[in-house]
Amino acid sequence: MASLIAEDLTYSYSKQSEPALNEVSIKLMKGTLTALVGPNGAGKSTLLRLLQGQHQPERGYINLNGIPLINTRSQVSLMPQRSFINWNFPITVQGLVALGQANHARAKCCELEASMQRVGISELAERRLDSLSGGQQQRALLAKTLMTPAKIFLLDEPCSALDPPAREQFLVIIRQLAEAGLTFFVSSHDWGKSLNAYDKVIALDKAVLASGSPQEVQQTLDSIDCMRGNYCCG
User: Is 4 in contact with 52 (CB distance < 8 Å)?
Assistant: no
Residue 190 confidence (pLDDT) above 90: no
Q: Which one-letter amino acid corresponds to residue 208?
A: V
| Model pLDDT for residues 2-48, shown as the tens digit of each residue | 689 999 999 999 988 899 999 999 999 999 999 999 988 999 999 99
Q: Is 69 left (phi over 0), alpha (psi -120 to 50) or beta?
A: alpha
- Mean pLDDT of all residues belonging to the chain: 89
Angle at which helices 134-146 and 109-118 cross, to 10° = 130
Q: Domain ranges for the chain, please list them.
A: 2-85+153-227
CB-based contact 36:78 (threshold 8 Å): no
**Rounded to an integer, what is the distance from CA 198 to the centroid of its chain?**
12
Q: Are 82 and 161 in contact (CB under 8 A)?
A: yes
Strand partners, 28: 4
pLDDT of 45 reads 95
Residue 233 is predicted with a pLDDT of 40
Domain 2-85+153-227 has CATH 3.40.50.300: yes
Cβ neighbourhood burial of 67 (10 Å; 0-12, 13-18, 19+) = exposed
Res 234: pLDDT:
34
pLDDT at residue 182 tops 60: yes
Residue 150 contacts residue 161 (beta carbons within 8 Å)? no
Instruction: Write down the pLDDT at residue 227.
Output: 45
Q: What are phi and psi of 210, to 5 degrees?
A: -160, 155
Q: Using 50, 70 and 90 to split pLDDT, how confident is the model at 231? A: very low
Confidence of residue 105 (pLDDT cuts 50, 70, 90): low
Please give the pLDDT value at position 110.
83
**Confidence at residue 161, expressed as pLDDT on a 0 to 100 scale:** 80
